C-alpha cells in the first residue's frame, strides 16, 4: 500500500473567489481533528506576506498556522508538525529551497509515518515523483528534479485545454505533456483548476466537479470522471 494522507489542490484560487475558498470543504474534511498546520511559503519570494495570508485564511477554519520560515530550526519544525501545507508559486524555487534546507527526506519520512500533507499548485507538484510536469519557469536550478515522491503519479496543475481560437504558436499544454511521455513513463494527471486529489489508505480519489485529463504512454489522452478512483 502507498503510505500517506494527501490532499493535492490544482490551484490556490479559482477565478472570482478568494484564497482557497473553492477547496474549503475538502480541506475541512481532510484536516478534521487537526489543530495546527505548518505552512511552507518557499515558492514565493515574499515569505512574510505569504505566511500572513495563510495564517489569516486558516484562522477562519479554526486552524492555527505557523510558517516554517519563522522557525529557528526548519527540520525540527517538520519533525514536530501535526500537518503540513505547501503553498503554490514557482516549483523550481520551492524544490531548490526544500533541498537547500535539508527538508526533502524529513518531510517524506513524516508523511509516510502519518503526518497529513496538503499542497496547492507547486505544492502539489512536489508531492509527485518529479517536477518534470510543472508549468513553471526554471528561474533557479534545484540539484535534482526528483521531488518528494509521496504521490505515485505526475501532476500537471492548472491543466488547461487548448483554445481553439488561439493564433499563438507556442505548444499547448497537451503537446507539452505528450513531449513528457516521449521521455518518461510515469503517467500524468492533468488536474484542472477547481480539482483536487485525495489519497487515503492507499486509495486516490479525484475531488471537485471537473474531469481530469490522463496522459499515459501508448494511449490517447483520456478523461477521468470527477469522484472516480485513480488507478493508472
Return the number of the residue (15 or 229) whose C-beta is nearest a second copy: 15
- Whether 121 sits among the annotated catalytic residues: the reply is yes
Question: Residue 16 or 218: which CB sits closer to a second copy?
Answer: 16
Quote the cell numbers at residue 222.
483520456
Nearer to a second copy, 47 or 110 (CB): 47
User: Where is 93: in which H helix or E strand?
Assistant: helix 91-100
CB of 14 to a second copy, least distance (A): 6
CB of 180 to a second copy, least distance (A): 4
Identify the active-site residue in 5, 121, 124, 195: 121
- Catalytically annotated residue among 5, 12, 136, 195: 136
Shortest spacing between CB 17 and a second copy, in angstroms? 10
Which of helix, strand or coil describes residue 60?
Answer: coil
C-alpha cell at 130: 518529479
Stretch (H or E) spanning 77: helix 74-80
Instruction: Specify the DSSP class assigned to residue 12.
Output: S
Tracing cell 481553439 back to the chain, one arrives at: 164
Nearer CB in complex with a second copy: 106/194: 194
* Nearer of residues 46 and 200 to a second copy, judged by Cβ: 46
Closest distance of CB 81 from a second copy, Å: 27
Residue 33: burial class (beta carbons within 10 Å; 0-12, 13-18, 19+): exposed
- Least distance between a second copy and beta carbon 79 (Å): 29
Cell readout for 51 is 505566511
Half-sphere exposure of 160 (CA within 13 A, CB side): 11
Which residues would be at the binding site for a second copy (CB under 8 A)? 11-16, 45, 89-90, 93, 131-141, 144-145, 158, 160, 167-171, 176-177, 179-180, 182-184, 193
Q: Cα–Cα distances in Å, from 105 out to 97, 101, 147, 217? A: 13, 10, 10, 30
Element (H, E) at 180: helix 173-183
List residues with catalytic annotation. 121, 136, 158
Amino acid at each position: 500500500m502507498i503510505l500517506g494522507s494527501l490532499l493535492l489542490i490544482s490551484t490556490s484560487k479559482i477565478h472570482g473567489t478568494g484564497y482557497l475558498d473553492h477547496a474549503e470543504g475538502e480541506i475541512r474534511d481532510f484536516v478534521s481533528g487537526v489543530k495546527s498546520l505548518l505552512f511552507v511559503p518557499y515558492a514565493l519570494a515574499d515569505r512574510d506576506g505569504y505566511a500572513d495570508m495563510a495564517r489569516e485564511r486558516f484562522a477562519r477554519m479554526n486552524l492555527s498556522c505557523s510558517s516554517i520560515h519563522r522557525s529557528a530550526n526548519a527540520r525540527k519544525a517538520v519533525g514536530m508538525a501535526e500537518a503540513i501545507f505547501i503553498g503554490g508559486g514557482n516549483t523550481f524555487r520551492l524544490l531548490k529551497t526544500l533541498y537547500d534546507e535539508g527538508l526533502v527526506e524529513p518531510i517524506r519520512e513524516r508523511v509516510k509515518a502519518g503526518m497529513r500533507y496538503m499542497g496547492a499548485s507547486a505544492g502539489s507538484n512536489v508531492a509527485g515523483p518529479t517536477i518534470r510536469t510543472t508549468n513553471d519557469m526554471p528561474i533557479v536550478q534545484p540539484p535534482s528534479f526528483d521531488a518528494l515522491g509521496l504521490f505515485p503519479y505526475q501532476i500537471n496543475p492548472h491543466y488547461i485545454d487548448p483554445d481553439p481560437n488561439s493564433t499563438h504558436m507556442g505548444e499547448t499544454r497537451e503537446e507539452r505533456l505528450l513531449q513528457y511521455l516521449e521521455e518518461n513513463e510515469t503517467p500524468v494527471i492533468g488536474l484542472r483548476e477547481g480539482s483536487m486529489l485525495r489519497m487515503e489508505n492507499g486509495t486516490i480519489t479525484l475531488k471537485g466537479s471537473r474531469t481530469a485529463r490522463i496522459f499515459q504512454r501508448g494511449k490517447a489522452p483520456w478523461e477521468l470522471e470527477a469522484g472516480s478512483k485513480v488507478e493508472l
